[in-house]
């Protein structure tokens, strides 16, 4: 087992393996995440840890106060706090396999919790924006806004984007004439990019077996939006409620 980057350094507080899927599962989203985290390491920005395969230096873990018991994506929050303290997370040159939920209900509930936790993490660390910039640099601050805040915002805005697109197509939107095509280009172009990313991630991470499902990205994002609004409602009504996801080859997950 070795680090994927430049080797061991004193400022490395935690190491994490990339995420992959077992032979019976298929989820291009997980494959894309397995590409994203090593990319964040390479550009030296805060890494929102996943909970699949983390290994910590105990002294550093105690120094930063360990996990936040009130955050439902406590690993992601911990990764940002480690970065704020001047530590970094390194990726292991290994893959930890996990199972994807096989039914829609558990899948929605799992994503709702993830997105609610990202909302919590964004709100907590955005309260001290100056400190975040000072501790992680402008690049780290922008990466945090993009990968934590952006993940939530894109899921919430997605239905509005499609609503504007459809309204422009049927002629019931004030944006008429030469500008009517802009919402259509925005919706089609963004989904085209997402389909391409999902296909590339699957080709790299699962020998292409998930690549055909990249064509379902539009439906996938509508489901993610449902999960995001559900997570937002839970943030307002029961912010610390934890929806556990059942796992196991024989579990109805």
Ramachandran category for residue 103: left, alpha or beta (phi over 0 → left; psi -120 to 50 → alpha): beta
Q: Which residue from 88, 85, 87 is spatially nearest to 41, judged by alpha carbons?
A: 88
29 close to 76: Cβ distance less than 8 angstroms = no
Give how far Cα 215 sits from Cα of 154, 155, 194, Å.
19, 18, 9
Residue-wise pLDDT for 107-122, tens only, equals 899 899 999 999 999 9
Q: Over 60: is that where the pLDDT of 253 sits?
A: no
Maximum average pLDDT range among 51-55, 108-112, 191-195: 108-112
Nearest to 150 by CA among 170, 126, 175, 180: 126
Q: Is pLDDT of 129 > 60? A: yes
pTM for this predicted structure? 0.81
pLDDT at residue number 204: 66
| Structural element, H or E, at residue 22 | none
Q: What is the DSSP string of 51-120?
A: SSSEEE-HHHHHHTTS--TT-TTHHHHHHHHHHHTT-EEEEEEEEEEEPPPSSHHHHHHHHHHHHHHHHH
- Residues 33-60 have a mean pLDDT of 78
Mean pLDDT over 91-113 rounds to 82
The whole-number pLDDT of residue 228 equals: 96
For residue 212, the model assigns a pLDDT of 75
Confidence of residue 178 (pLDDT cuts 50, 70, 90): low
Q: What is the pLDDT of residues 206-234, one digit of tens each?
A: 556 667 777 788 888 899 999 999 999 99
């Amino acid at each position: 087992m070795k680090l994927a980057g430049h080797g061991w350094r004193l400022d490395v507080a935690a190491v994490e393996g990339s995420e992959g899927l077992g032979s019976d599962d298929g989820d291009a989203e997980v494959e894309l995440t397995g590409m994203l985290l090593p990319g964040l390491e390479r550009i030296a920005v805060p890494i929102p840890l996943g909970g699949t395969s983390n290994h910590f230096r105990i002294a550093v873990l105690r120094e930063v106060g360990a996990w936040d018991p009130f955050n439902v994506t406590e690993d992601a929050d911990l990764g940002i706090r480690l970065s704020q303290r001047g530590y970094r997370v390194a990726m292991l040159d290994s893959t930890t396999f996990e199972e994807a939920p096989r039914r829609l209900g558990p899948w929605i509930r799992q994503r709702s919790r993830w997105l609610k936790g990202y909302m919590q993490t964004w709100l907590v660390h955005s309260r001290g924006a100056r400190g975040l910039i000072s501790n992680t640099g402008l690049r780290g601050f922008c990466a945090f806004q993009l990968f934590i805040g952006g993940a939530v915002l894109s899921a919430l805005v997605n239905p509005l984007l499609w609503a504007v697109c459809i309204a422009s197509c049927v002629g019931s939107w004030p944006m008429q004439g030469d500008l009517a095509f802009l919402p259509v280009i925005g919706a089609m172009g963004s989904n085209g990019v997402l389909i391409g990313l999902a296909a590339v991630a699957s080709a790299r991470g699962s020998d292409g077996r998930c690549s055909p499902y990249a064509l379902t990205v539009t439906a996938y994002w509508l489901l993610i939006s449902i999960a995001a609004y559900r997570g937002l409602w839970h943030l307002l009504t029961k912010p610390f409620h934890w929806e556990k996801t059942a796992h196991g080859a024989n579990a109805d997950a």
